[in-house]
Structure 1
Amino acid sequence: MDIQRTPLTFRSEGVLCAATLFAPAAPGAQAPCVVMANGFSGTMDWILPSFAERFAAAGLAALTFDYRHLGESEGEPRQLVDVRKQRADLRAAVELARSRPGIRPDRVALWGTSLGGSHVVEIAAEDPRVAAVILNMPALDALAGSNVTAKRERARAGRATLVWVTARLLAAAVSDAARGALGRPPRYLAVYGAPGEAFFTDPELASRFERVAAESPTWQNRVAARFLLGVPRYREGTMERIAAPLLVCLAESDVEISAAFVKEKAARAPRAEVRTYPGGHFDLYHGDVFEQVAADQAEFLRAHLTP
């Protein structure tokens, strides 16, 4: 099926955000739409197009966008990840989708991966008009829902090393917050790099992030360290308020989030389905595992969004 890609913009709390609408090239057709929320540091030229193309080929529209401060969207300082602001951006993106000609406003779904999954859960719980929800390895809670033990074992790091790394990261976050309060440029941490200097440090991820840098030109390997002082926390009772059908896709060897934590919370949603796939946190974006995940998600969306 031919796919149309339409660049768009919208405003979120006065800030101009960039977006792209992927839609099947069928003149006059009213299509359902899935609004896609990327993960930590993610820009709309990373991961999202591959899923959006699969959804459009299945007859669905897909709206990707850049959060403010990232990618093609406005916002200063650059490379700032703020949970409250990103959720406001997602709400504005949903309203954009509902207002577009050719989109059925009563058939708008949400898709979120990693950090974006926590955003989607919040918006889906507060908006009964959301027609369906997909969560890819959602980082629901950066503290209670993290997989610290698995990460430490993968890195072969002792408790003393973990304390040292955590102290360095928190010191950078406090320094960055102080710089922000004074109007000074951010203190950045790498997204991927050495322990104590980056958010992701697993050596097995080196090739993944090399591919991101090569194939996603707007993505940058740095984020303002103050993010660590405002990480997402899960609010009890949130899943219970999601009335829409919900598909949760997990990686069986995920060391970034706790699959057990996500399963326990998802079980409280009235219409939840959980599927587990082989591999780690980033493997669901690549190769044969990605193809299976994307196919399952397209089938789920078609089942719940098309008459």
Structure 2
Amino acid sequence: MGREDVEFKTCDRVTLRGWFYTGDLSTGKSPCLVMSHGFSALKEMDLDTFAEYFVSKLPMTCLVYDNRGFGASDHAEGEPRYEIVPMTQCSDISDAITYAATRPEVNPDKIAIWGSSYSGGHVLFVGAVDRRVKAVLSQVPCVSGWDNFNRLVRPDFAVGSNAAFAADRIARAEGKEPGYVPVVDANPLQPSALPTPDSYEFFSAWEKKSDWTNKVTLKTLELFRSYEAQQLIDKIAPTPLLMTVASGDVLTPADLALGAYARAKEPKQLQLLPCGHFEAYSGPHFERNAGTQADFLKRWLLEG
């Protein structure tokens, strides 16, 4: 197995950086899986573990990268770091596909996309609008920003969020620095983007052993609330879709994902894991999860 440091330009000339994984490529040009991480997460936060698994089990390649404004990737000139604009991240996935298609190891007609959590929603949108995509793997996805936001934020706290969003818009219009909020906080009653105990446990552990930074802009939350990744889910077909849902997920609730999955058209496959959101990434459920995903890739990307 090989891993190469890579970088590529987006359509608006922002440099994204990541890793390109290769396995046994004796068959010549190989399929490629473009992999994007979730809300504020970096490529080394278990994304690499999935890529290593796939290239060790299948004759394929994987491209993983940091989202713009996070980790090793740049941000657009004049825009702040640690800001997530979901439709821009969707566009960046398509630019990652374009980069992968230019690699000499890659068969440009066999490129799939994989996303988890926030990007698990992104790939539902990209899989519908970018017809180069040959398979879509969506893991513990955020399918509805509006519903998800209102599950995570108490109604009385939402009033304060609205006031903060309005004040931040005025500050930006006056040329001031954008407002920020922690991604997680040990106290779920304190303002944070992801106010669940398992989110704090996951991200605080990675903060100690990576370059992950515990903040996003306030605008990130406002954009999150208005983002409906599921809006074109019925348009993904005839591209095959695998959705992995964690039955105990309280961050991107399972019932929302299952409702979106019900509206997707065939061919589609559902994997239901008996665990919480972050347990899909590692631990005792990893082998089952990644194994099902590898089987799906073998059927629809390698052999399809």
Aligned residue number for residue 21 of structure 1? 20
Q: In structure 1, how many angstroms separate the alpha carbons of the residues matched to 2:162 and 2:61?
A: 41
Letter in 2 for 1:261: L
Match of 1:198 among 192, 198, 205: 192
The Cα of 1:69 is off from its aligned counterpart by: 1.2
Aligned residue number for residue 224 of structure 1? 217
Structure 2 stretches lacking a partner, 5+ long: none
Residues 179/23 of structure 1: CA separation in 2 closer, same or farther (3 Å cut):
farther
Q: In structure 1, how many angstroms separate the alpha carbons of the residues matched to 2:167 and 2:49?
A: 37
- Residue 50 of structure 2 corresponds to residue 51 of structure 1: yes
Letter in 1 for 2:54: F
Letter in 1 for 2:274: P
Name the SS of the counterpart of 1:116 in structure 2.
helix
Name the SS of the counterpart of 2:143 in structure 1.
coil
Name the SS of the counterpart of 1:255 in structure 2.
coil
Q: Can you list the C-alpha shifts for 1:69-98, whole angstroms capped at 9, x where unaligned?
A: 111111141111111211111110011111
The Cα of 1:105 is off from its aligned counterpart by: 0.7
Aligned residue number for residue 255 of structure 1? 250
Aligned 8 A contact 1:38 1:114 in 2: yes
Q: Can you list the C-alpha shifts for 1:163-219, whole angstroms capped at 9, x where unaligned?
A: 3322333333333333333333221111111334201222344332222112332x2
The Cα of 1:147 is off from its aligned counterpart by: 7.3
Aligned residue number for residue 265 of structure 1? 260
RMSD over aligned Cα atoms: 2.0
Residues 204/238 of structure 1: CA separation in 2 closer, same or farther (3 Å cut):
closer
Q: What does 1:80-159 align with in structure 2 at a 5 Å threshold?
A: 80-144=83-147, 148=151
Aligned 8 A contact 2:25 2:60 in 1: no
Residues 183/27 of structure 1: CA separation in 2 closer, same or farther (3 Å cut):
farther
Residues 7/181 of structure 1: CA separation in 2 closer, same or farther (3 Å cut):
farther
Name the SS of the counterpart of 2:183 in structure 1.
strand
- Residue 280 of structure 2 corresponds to residue 277 of structure 1: no
- Residue 234 of structure 2 corresponds to residue 239 of structure 1: yes
Residues 177/196 of structure 1: CA separation in 2 closer, same or farther (3 Å cut):
farther
Aligned 8 A contact 1:170 1:228 in 2: no
Letter in 2 for 1:247: L
Aligned residue number for residue 157 of structure 1? none
- Residue 65 of structure 2 corresponds to residue 62 of structure 1: no
* Higher mean displacement: 130-139 or 191-200: 191-200
Structure 1 stretches lacking a partner, 5+ long: 153-161
Aligned residue number for residue 289 of structure 1? 285
Aligned residue number for residue 79 of structure 1? 82
The Cα of 1:128 is off from its aligned counterpart by: 2.2
Q: Can you list the C-alpha shifts for 1:266-304, whole angstroms capped at 9, x where unaligned?
A: 233221111111111111112011221111111111121
Q: In structure 2, how many angstroms separate the alpha carbons of the residues matched to 1:228 and 1:184?
A: 18
Match of 1:183 among 159, 175, 188: 175
Aligned 8 A contact 2:124 2:229 in 1: no
* Higher mean displacement: 193-202 or 269-278: 193-202
Question: Structure 1-normalised TM-score?
Answer: 0.88
Q: In structure 1, how many angstroms separate the alpha carbons of the residues matched to 2:155 and 2:256?
A: 23
Name the SS of the counterpart of 2:169 in structure 1.
helix
* Higher mean displacement: 86-95 or 191-200: 191-200
What is the total number of aligned residue pairs between the two structures?
Answer: 293
Q: In structure 1, how many angstroms separate the alpha carbons of the residues matched to 2:85 and 2:172?
A: 13
Identity of aligned residues (%): 28
Residues 33/191 of structure 1: CA separation in 2 closer, same or farther (3 Å cut):
same
* Higher mean displacement: 244-253 or 194-203: 194-203
